[in-house]
């Protein structure tokens, strides 16, 4: 049975993440928000520490986790890398979401490799930083509509297309590119390829200027006759119409709970800061009295806390299911939808409750409000998550429910 208390064996990891968030992320948060595109050098030491923990086996979940459906079924309850990574992510994003997104060798592409790569690929790409390139100028949440093509030419695939909004695309060593083997077949032909930086034909077009998460770099790529060896294709090279593109979509079963964990951490930061400001103004939340007999600010705060708690529990449930080899696509989308929406609502309401203190740069609340919106957009927008949830609950296919 699932127990959504923090597992005892991960308390040390959570404590370390809290320390990093408090002593590295939070103190430098405003600095790199103002200095967009400047790499946070403070993260190099942290990256080396994570590498050491992973190499020694002492840091289970310290690196990018994956959801591997081909693993042997475990007996009993198991809390492993997905749960620990989610818990660590919550703490680190209490410090700064942008810093978390630009931690060396912890990119979304690393989760794709961890989920889908074979043993040889896992060994070959170990210790390298991987970004993930899915979104295209005409294609956002509908990943099946990808137009970037991969044409087989002997031992190579030739990639052509454009990718936008690639997180850590400038700083990463590798880019996991989603491309189609045949546009006429649809989603079943979509595969993911690991493209090494410096490969001829992979061109960085521009760095984006963003509303939030400015410590993290976001780029646009152009692929022009980019030749990638067949050994860099992740998953089954054959087109299986019955299976669809389950191999590449399996990545989302892992990354969506992690984005939800980011939102949970940011929401908690907003709530804690707002509580301090309210208490300074003489407004104290009394949990022994009904919200209806307290001040409007206290009642609103209690409602936000309830939303936060619901998002946190859904996120832990999705991570636990992944660790226990249970299909979690529905729960991953539920966690992402709830946490993404709640985080934005909480951040904006906290700014509102705190008035001028929330709106000015003297506090971090205004920055957190800007950072929050991306957590409701990337890895599948709020709307696409609700569509996925509806399909799962009603037993409908993507063709039957659009």
In a domain, 143, yes or no: yes
Collapsing DSSP to helix, strand or coil, 200 comes out as coil
Asked if 148 and 193 touch (Cβ cutoff 8 Å), the reply is no
Q: Fill in the DSSP letter of residue 75.
A: P
- Does residue 134 belong to any structural domain of this protein? yes
Cβ-proximal residues to 115 (8 Å cutoff; 6+ apart), any chain:
66, 67, 68, 250, 251, 253, 254
Mean pLDDT in residue range 320-349: 95
- pLDDT tens-digit map of 172-230: 999 999 999 998 888 889 999 999 999 999 999 999 999 999 999 999 999 999 999 99
Can you read off the two tokens belonging to residue 399?
Answer: 């063709």
| Residue 105 and residue 33 in one domain | yes
Give the count of alpha carbons within 13 A of 138, CB side only. Answer: 7
Number of domains into which the chain is organized: 3
Statement to judge: residues 212 and 259 lie in one domain:
no
Question: Which residue, 171, 174, 177, 165, is CA-closest to 220?
Answer: 165
Tell me, yes or no, if 379 is annotated catalytic: yes
Choosing from 182, 204, 234, the residue where a domain stops is 234
User: Do residue 385 and residue 263 come from a single domain?
Assistant: yes
What confidence tens digit (pLDDT) does each residue in 35-89 have?
999 999 988 877 766 665 555 444 444 345 555 555 445 556 788 888 998 999 9
**3-class DSSP state of 202:** strand
Extract the tokens encoding 82: 């997905």
- Considering the candidates 136, 273, 363, 379, report the single residue annotated as catalytic: 379
Q: Are residues 200 and 81 in the same domain?
A: no
Beta strand residue intervals within 24-147, DSSP E: 130-133
| pLDDT tens per residue across span 285-296 | 999 999 999 999
Question: Does some domain include residue 63?
Answer: yes
Contacts of 5 (CB under 8 A, 6+ apart): none
Q: Which two tokens stand for residue 193?
A: 């390829």
Last residue of a domain, one of 80, 103, 124: 124
Q: Is residue 1 part of a domain?
A: no
**Are 299 and 200 contained in the same domain?**
no
pLDDT, one tens digit per residue, over 14-29 is 999 999 999 999 999 9
- Whether residues 203 and 176 share a domain: the answer is yes
Phi (first) and psi of residue 193, to 5 degrees: -125, 140
* pTM exceeds 0.85, yes or no: yes
Instruction: For residue 216, tell me if it sits in a domain.
Output: yes
* Together in a domain, 261 and 387: yes
Q: Are 211 and 225 in contact (CB under 8 A)?
A: no
Residue 82 domain boundaries:
8-124
Residues 6+ apart with CB under 8 A from 179: 146, 148, 149, 150, 157, 159, 161, 190, 191, 192, 193
Instruction: Residue 184: give its domain's CATH number.
Output: 2.40.110.10
Residue 362, helix vs strand vs coil: coil
Report yes or no on 146 lying in a domain.
yes
Mean per-residue pLDDT for 160-169? 96
d(CA 348, CA 359): 10
Do 290 and 351 fall within a single domain?
yes
Last residue of a domain, one of 93, 124, 155: 124
Together in a domain, 223 and 252: no
Q: What is the pLDDT of residue 389?
A: 96
């Amino acid at each position: 049975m699932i127990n959504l208390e923090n597992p005892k064996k991960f308390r040390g990891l959570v404590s370390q993440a809290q320390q990093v968030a408090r002593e590295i992320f939070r103190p430098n948060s405003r600095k790199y928000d103002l200095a967009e595109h400047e790499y946070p050098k403070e993260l190099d030491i942290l990256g080396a520490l994570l590498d050491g923990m992973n190499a020694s086996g002492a840091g289970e979940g310290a690196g990018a986790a994956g959801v591997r459906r081909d693993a042997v079924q475990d007996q009993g309850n198991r809390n492993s890398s997905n749960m620990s990574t989610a818990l660590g992510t919550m703490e680190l994003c209490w410090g700064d979401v942008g810093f978390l997104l630009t931690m060396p060798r912890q990119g979304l592409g690393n989760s794709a490799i961890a989920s889908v790569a074979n043993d040889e690929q896992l060994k070959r790409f170990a210790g390298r930083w991987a970004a993930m390139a899915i979104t295209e100028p005409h294609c956002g949440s509908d990943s099946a509509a990808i137009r970037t093509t991969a044409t087989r030419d002997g031992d190579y695939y030739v990639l052509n297309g454009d990718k936008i909004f690639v997180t850590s695309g400038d700083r990463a060593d590798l880019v996991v590119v989603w491309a189609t083997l045949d546009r006429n077949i649809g989603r079943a032909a979509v595969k993911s390829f690991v493209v090494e930086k410096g490969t001829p034909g992979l061109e960085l077009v521009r760095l984006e200027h963003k509303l939030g998460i400015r410590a993290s770099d976001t780029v646009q790529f152009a692929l022009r006759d980019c030749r990638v060896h067949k050994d860099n294709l992740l998953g089954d090279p054959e087109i299986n119409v019955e299976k669809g593109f389950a191999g590449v979509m399996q990545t989302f079963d892992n990354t969506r709970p992690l984005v939800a964990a980011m939102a949970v951490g940011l929401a908690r930061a907003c709530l804690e800061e707002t509580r301090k400001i309210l208490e300074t103004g003489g407004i104290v939340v009394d949990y022994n009295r009904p919200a209806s007999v307290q001040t409007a600010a206290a009642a609103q705060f209690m409602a936000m806390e309830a939303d936060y708690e619901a998002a946190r529990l859904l996120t832990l449930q999705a991570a636990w299911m992944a660790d226990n080899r249970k299909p979690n696509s529905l729960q991953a989308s539920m966690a992402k939808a709830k946490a993404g929406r709640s985080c934005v609502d909480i951040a904006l309401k906290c700014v509102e409750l705190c008035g001028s203190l929330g709106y000015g740069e003297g506090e971090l609340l205004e920055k957190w409000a800007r950072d929050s919106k991306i957590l409701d957009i990337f890895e599948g927008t709020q709307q696409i998550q609700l569509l996925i949830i509806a399909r799962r609950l009603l037993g409908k296919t993507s063709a039957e429910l659009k």
